[in-house]
Amino acid sequence: LDQDVTEVLPFLNRELGGFEYTCHPPSVTFRVHGKLITVHPRLIAVNALRDRAEADKILAWLQGEINRVWAERDSIEPKYDGAGRPQVFEILKILPRTNCRACGRPTCLVFAAQAAEGVLGPEDCPEMDQAGRDRLENYLAQFPDLIED
């Protein structure tokens, strides 16, 4: 970035529902349309980009959001913490722990890690009974920022 955006980060965190926020060093991470976007004071990182056109589209959107939020900062309460994250081992406790591979993952631990990242949900474990699915759904529902747009 050609400017330091440190001051806008807590406002962006509030407005865009930051998944993770750190004060030292300052950064905020968002989940948007299947991407993790991290804004640092002078750098933006985006995972799994297909091509330059996709990068340009995301950066144009983010520039617009940064400018909008900065212009409206007087009416926005800054937020200095993240949304909280599901814990892999809490998810693992709910799973059947058979390592059956019916979900296409090599182990239940891998499934749990991907569920904690929002990649998988209760419906993706064919071995889990309805009570387990309900428990996992209720647990994951505590983390609304995990749900994709």
To the question of pTM greater than 0.95 for the whole model, the response is no
Q: Is the dihedral of CA 98, 101, 106, 111 positive or negative?
A: negative
Q: What is the mean pLDDT of the chain?
A: 91
Percent of the chain with pLDDT over 90: 74
Once rounded to an integer, what is the mean pLDDT over residues 131-148? Answer: 82
3-class secondary-structure state, position 37: strand
One-letter amino acid at 66 equals I
Instruction: Tell me the C-alpha to C-alpha distance, in Å, between residue 90 and each of 19, 60, 106, 141.
Output: 19, 38, 19, 13
Mean pLDDT lowest among 44-53, 63-72, 79-88, 109-118 = 79-88
30 bridge partner residues: 37
Say how many residues make up the chain. 149
Q: Residue 34 has what pLDDT?
A: 73
Span 14-24, average pLDDT: 88
Contact call for residues 61 and 90 (beta carbons, < 8 A): no
In this prediction, residue 149 carries a pLDDT of 40
How far apart are alpha carbons 28 and 3 in whole angstroms?
A: 16
What span, in angstroms and rounded, lies between the C-alpha atoms of 54 and 32? 13
Determine the pLDDT at residue 146: 60
